[in-house]
Amino acid sequence: MKNFKEFEQRISVVFKDIHLLQQAFTHRSYLNEHKHSALKHNERLEFLGDAVLELIVTEHLFEKYPAYTEGDMTSLRASLVNADTLSEVASALGMNDFLLLSHGEAKDTGRARRYILANTFEAVVGAIFIDQGYAVVRDFVAKSSFHLLDEIVAKGLWTDSKSLFQEKAQEIVGVTPLYKTVREEGPDHDKEFVVGVYLNTTKVAEGSGKSKQDAEQSAARAGLKAKGWE
């Protein structure tokens, strides 16, 4: 079993119920191979953590950017809580070292692992909220992720990437981008959409999100980077 005390030290949070933290790192696939384990998978904690995370980020944006419109704050929030950003935050915290996965999932270190890391971060948020309360989980989120907001704002990563990609595509190659859903992943209550952005029949990039709209924005951001149109 992983040494979750070490993770507690990393985040400076000592759980009253260490089993909540273990559950936050337990992927459904792990239990498929350990059917007699007393652990539960992390999907319920992820569901709760997703909502808590959105509230914390929304509260922070509301206070930090008093001149921003609802649309501005919505875009900024989406740029901070999307799967790519959350997986980056989770990786920085070393969450990968503590994941409880099946042997098959453990071998996949690509996009699927980024989804798992992002979902695990949300599950940890949910676990801290239950175990320690709102003030502690707010501090955890602030320390682990709010520093990224400065970079997001400075680089304009929260802007409407779809509009910018379309403008560049029409200007440079004379083509209007097309977005197609490549696949849907995850359980029905927490679906993750993967969308590809195409120029004619060529797929330029993929993006993911909790909704097709978020996934399209993510794909457009990836497309801008892939084409050097940032």
Kindly tell me if the per-residue pLDDT of 64 is higher than 70.
yes
54 is in an annotated binding site: no
Task: At 32, list the tokens.
Answer: 């498929």
Q: Could you give the residue range(s) of every CATH 3.30.160.20 domain in the chain?
A: 161-227
Total Cβ atoms within 10 A of residue 5: 12
Distance CA 54, CA 48 (A): 10
Position 210 pLDDT exceeds 90: no
Q: Which residues have a catalytic role annotated?
A: 50, 122
Mean pLDDT computed over every residue of the chain:
90
* Average pLDDT of the segment spanning 183-203: 88
Q: What is the pLDDT of residue 159?
A: 66
- Which tens digits make up the pLDDT trace of 71-116? 788 888 888 888 888 999 999 999 999 999 988 777 776 777 888 9
Answer for the pair 122, 49: CB distance below 8 angstroms, yes or no: yes
Is 185 annotated in some ligand binding site? no
Superfamily classification of domain 4-154:
Ribonuclease III domain (1.10.1520.10)
As assigned by CATH, the class of the 161-227 domain is: alpha beta
Let me know: does 215 contact 191? Beta carbons within 8 Å.
Answer: no
> Considering the entire predicted model, what is its pTM?
0.73
122 is in an annotated binding site: yes
User: What tokens does 119 get?
Assistant: 């979902």
Provide the pLDDT for residue 157. 64
Domain with CATH 1.10.1520.10 in the chain: 4-154
Binned at pLDDT 50, 70 and 90, residue 161 comes out as confident
**What's the average model confidence in pLDDT over 161-189?**
89
